Amino acid sequence: MSSVVVCDVCGKELTKPSFKLRVLKSEKDQEPRDMKTVGNLDMHEACLKLFKDWLNESKRKELAK
């Protein structure tokens, strides 16, 4: 049985080329090499752009508070 990789943003099947984003967690005063991977996101190129736009907008809103 084969497995299918789907986009974490839109839910459609991924074909190569695609992007994999690693989500890392770090503790205060921790070296970057000691960060732990807490998740992976697989995305299409267009979905990656949407995700980055959403992330930048969220940062702007947080800094405006």
Nearest to 55 by CA among 9, 7, 5, 6: 9
Q: What is the pLDDT of residue 18?
A: 86
Which percentage of the chain shows pLDDT scores above 90? 28
- Are residues 45 and 15 in contact, defined by beta-carbon separation less than 8 angstroms? no
List C-alpha distances in Å: 4 to 26, 27, 41, 48: 31, 34, 14, 19
Range of the domain at 12: 1-26+35-65
| Three-class secondary structure of residue 65 per DSSP | coil
> Mean pLDDT over residues 54-59, rounded?
93
Q: What is the pLDDT of residue 43?
A: 92
Give me the number of domains the chain comprises. Answer: 1
Are the C-beta atoms of residues 42 and 14 closer than 8 Å to each other? yes
